[in-house]
Every structure is written in structure tokens, then in C-alpha cells.
Structure 1
Amino acid sequence: MPLISIVTPSYNPVPDHLLAAYESVRSQRLPDGWDLEWVIQEDGSTGAAMEILPPDPIVTFATGRRGGVALTRNLALARSGGELIKNLDHDDVLMPDVLMRDIGVLAADPLVQWTTSRVLDLLPDGSTVAFASDPPGGRLEPGFVYDHWRANNYRLPVHPTTICVRRELAVALGGWMGIPGSDDTGLLVPASVISHGWFHSEVGLLYRKWPGQETARTEHYAALEWDLRMRLVAERAEAVRALWPQVTT
């Protein structure tokens, strides 16, 4: 039976946030014949996520030494068994039927190697705000994401945290990039230069904005580190494009 794996890094989770993520995973519908696992990897060894969530056969946990979000995400990838890999942060919420749409496109079109979805920011008061630069729904040609990103001061046209990617491509690229922040950009951008993607115009994720999130920290936007991260992501994308053929099957 084909399997889609949701991979989630976890560190010091807020119970209400993690439970909301769990309910959003549990409510997903899948195409006939598909199965689902949720692989949670703790960045540390407290067991906090396991204590918060109820026992569930689709959910697996593991702990380990502290390594940061990118390395933790990659350990979850290593533990997963799915041919499709869906990212979910422990404070975000999947929207209904997003997995149905992801699987539907990737199962039907072998040219498409990854999907992304429309996002709404979820604010602390419960209101939502739309992401500003959504492209039209449908297939994204190789280079589209990268060219937009370079031309718009490293602003992506799609949200990288919504990615669902074929396992072989994710592993071949080294998984999420080992940098202190923007690790999802470091996977999406190189993937986008050598393969076709897909953008779902339906909302696929509520991206929680709250003071405790990693991207709310001032260090995340420190000019020198930000520039170094973006330069390395761009160099990785250029190297991938120069050395690898475009993925066509």
C-alpha cells in the first residue's frame, strides 16, 4: 500500500498547538489505497510531544540530541517510510483534504516532483492573513520559483513549509538544508530548478504566527546571517542546475 509520511520536528511544543496539528492530521482524507504515518522527531530527549498526544497507531515518536530544526527534520525523514514526504511544523495546521490534493497530483503526473499550497497566516487572535504573492494554481515550470526568489530579494512565490515532495528527490538533495533557519527554502529552491512543481490555489496550511516561533526571533533576520544563508541556498541551486539533468520522470 503506498504511504505518505508527514514529518515534524518538535522542540518544547505548546500543548494546544501540537494538539491542533494532530487533529488536522487525523482529519485528513486519503485517496483509496493510500496510507498515512506521522513521524515526530524531538530536538532533544524530554519526550514532551509524546506526553501531549494521545496514543495513535499512525503516530511515531523519537528523541535525540539537540541539533536544530533542519537536522531534526532530516532525522524524521530518515525514520519515515513514505514514497511521498509532507512537511508539517508542530505549531501549524493542515487544512482539510490537502493530502488528498497532494497525492492526487503526484500520483497522476510523474513529471511533477513536488507540490506546494496556498497559506494563511494564523494570528494569535484567531484571525488569518493571506500570503501576498501566490502564483496561479497548477504546474510550475523548472526555474520559476528560483527566478522569482532571486528577482524579489529572496522572497519566494510559494511557501516552502507546505512542500510535499517525492522521497527520492528529497533524499538526493540531502533533505532540508543544514543551515540555522530557512532550511525549507534550502530544499525547495534547489528542487525547483531541476523539476516541475505544482501550486494548489486552495488553502493547504494555517501558518501559526506567535512570539515563540523560530521565525519570530530577531536572530532569524540578522543581516549578516540572512545574507550568508541566502547566498548558500542560491549557490546550491546553481550547482544543482549545472550538475544535474532536469527530473523528467
Structure 2
Amino acid sequence: MTNTITIVTAVHGPSIPYLADAYASLAAQELPPDWTWQWTVQEDGETGDVAAALPDDSRISVGTGSKGGPGVARNLAMSRAEGSILRVLDADDQITPGALARDVTVLAENPAIGWTTASVLDLMPDGTTVGWEHADPPEGRLQAGAVLSYFTENKYRLPVHPATLCIRTELAMALGGWMALPGGEDTGLLIAASVVSDGYFIAKPGLLYRKHPAQLTSQPGWSGTAEWMTRMRVIEARGEALQRLGAHYQG
């Protein structure tokens, strides 16, 4: 029996030129013998330009839909997921060698763990890489509730990077997927998952996080604004509500 990990990618126009590098990073992955990957790519729009930019590979599933932002696009991509595990990959980023195998191994060997994240290297415009600006936690298990506590106690900063989230498909579906927000939707899913399930942090870098002028998180007003604060508060409130309800992933 072959198991599948589904890679979920939302794409808007400015990210299309980076898809070739994202695909190359996937094609280079070496998975355990009984695993394969599927890439569900969703255009945030209906131009068809994304499909035209992708190679002919039976492992790729491409969709289009009404513009709604990355959260909506990822949820539409998730509807085509064939895997028991989902790994998010932004269109302008690259998965590092061995990262998928590390994700798969942790989740396969630990049924009670619902999700993983990994260390990140920023990929600069000149091709060099630098470490993430925040200190990573030690490798190992992250107890349910710990990420939310850090988030609320540190002015809505995260201890782990949401762009590396790998989550059991059943858990992501139960949580409603990515939040319907104009930004921070990946933080919303990470926080929700971290409340109802233990996670695991992998110290080896799992992602090259590309820095470029067109990326959404580099735009003026991305953080520190009234809207950003509203997004963070609703993410926090959702996590706290799940805690009060006593929701817990059983594995």
C-alpha cells in the first residue's frame, strides 16, 4: 500500500515565476519506500496562467476558482487531497532536501501527534540564506496549548513558522482548514491545531522562505495595523474557544 502526502499550494499572479523552483524542490524529495507525494495547486483566480506554468506531471492537480485570497485557495486545493497528511508550500518557497521524509516519519511513528513544523531559512534575492529572525524551540514534542500561550504572551509572535506546517488531513478538515482571513490564515490553522493536538518541531531546516518585493508579508501595512490586530485577536479567540470546549485530537 502506498501512502500519500499532499502538498497544498495557493498561487496568485506575482508568484507564478517561482513555481518552477517550488516544483524542482518537490521533485528532488526522497520519501520512504511506501510513500509518494501529490501536489494540489490552486490559482487564486480563473486565468489559467498557473496551469500553463506547471510541468506535465501526473502527481500535480491544478484548480482555479474565484479570487478569495490564499486561505480560500488552499481550502479549495485541500478538497482534492488524496493524502492522509497535508504539507503547506507557498508558491514562492522551496522545500529543503529530506524535509518531507522527516515530516512523514514523525507522524507515522507518533499517531497521537497531529502536526509538525520545522526550522526555516530565509532565501534572499541574491540566493544566499539566513536563519529565521526568531529563536527556534528545541527539537521535539510541543504540548497542546504551548503555541497559543507563546502567541498570546509575546505580542502575537509565533515560536514556530506556519509556512512549514504539516498536518494530518483529517485534523485540518475538522478545524475547517485555513481561516477565512485576508492574511494570517496559516497562523490561524496552526494555532487551532496546536490547541487540540500535540505537535512536533523538527530542528533541521524544512523550508527556504523566499524574500522578494512582491510577497504579501513584505507589503506596507501587513503587520501592526488595526486590521492586523483584528486578525490576530480572532485567531487568538478561536484558539481559546477550542480550549474551553476541551477539543482534543485522539490520533
> Is the CA contact 2:115–2:165 (under 8 Å) kept in the aligned structure 1?
yes
After superposition, the Cα gap between the structure-2 partners of 1:172 and 1:41, relative to the gap in structure 1 and judged at 3 Å, is: same
For residues 84-103 of structure 1, what are the alpha-carbon distances to aligned partners after superposition, in whole Å with 9 as ceiling and x for unaligned?
Answer: 00000100000001110000
Aligned to 2:111: 110
The CA distance in 2 between the partners of 1:241 and 1:113, in whole Å, is: 16
SS of 2:76's partner is helix
How is 1:80-95 mapped onto 2 (pairs within 5 angstroms)? 80-95=81-96
- TM-score, normalised on structure 1? 0.97
How is 1:123-142 mapped onto 2 (pairs within 5 angstroms)? 123-131=124-132, 132-142=134-144
Aligned to 2:164: 162
The CA distance in 1 between the partners of 2:224 and 2:204, in whole Å, is: 33
The CA distance in 1 between the partners of 2:198 and 2:41, in whole Å, is: 28
- TM-score, normalised on structure 2? 0.96
In the alignment, is residue 24 of structure 1 matched against residue 29 of structure 2? no
Structure 1 residue 158 displacement after superposition: 0.3
User: What is the number of residues matched between the two proteins?
Assistant: 249
SS of 2:62's partner is strand
Structure 1 residue 123 displacement after superposition: 1.1
For residues 178-223 of structure 1, what are the alpha-carbon distances to aligned partners after superposition, in whole Å with 9 as ceiling and x for unaligned?
Answer: 1110000000011111211001000000001111011111132251
> Is the CA contact 1:13–1:90 (under 8 Å) kept in the aligned structure 2?
no
Aligned to 1:187: 189
Aligned to 1:50: 51
How is 1:1-249 mapped onto 2 (pairs within 5 angstroms)? 1-131=2-132, 132-221=134-223, 223-249=225-251
Gaps of 5+ in 1: none
SS of 2:201's partner is strand
The CA distance in 2 between the partners of 1:188 and 1:78, in whole Å, is: 19
The CA distance in 2 between the partners of 1:174 and 1:161, in whole Å, is: 18
SS of 1:220's partner is coil
> Is the CA contact 2:16–2:91 (under 8 Å) kept in the aligned structure 1?
no
Structure 1 residue 246 displacement after superposition: 2.4
Gaps of 5+ in 2: none
> Is the CA contact 2:46–2:64 (under 8 Å) kept in the aligned structure 1?
yes
> Is the CA contact 2:44–2:64 (under 8 Å) kept in the aligned structure 1?
yes
Structure 1 residue 2 displacement after superposition: 1.6
> Is the CA contact 2:18–2:91 (under 8 Å) kept in the aligned structure 1?
yes
The CA distance in 1 between the partners of 2:65 and 2:149, in whole Å, is: 37
SS of 1:202's partner is strand
RMSD, aligned CA: 1.2
SS of 1:81's partner is coil
The percentage of aligned residue pairs carrying the same residue is 47
The CA distance in 1 between the partners of 2:222 and 2:3, in whole Å, is: 37
The CA distance in 2 between the partners of 1:145 and 1:211, in whole Å, is: 29
Q: Which amino acid aligns with 2:190?
A: L
> Is the CA contact 2:119–2:202 (under 8 Å) kept in the aligned structure 1?
yes
> Is the CA contact 1:194–1:247 (under 8 Å) kept in the aligned structure 2?
yes
Structure 1 residue 245 displacement after superposition: 3.2
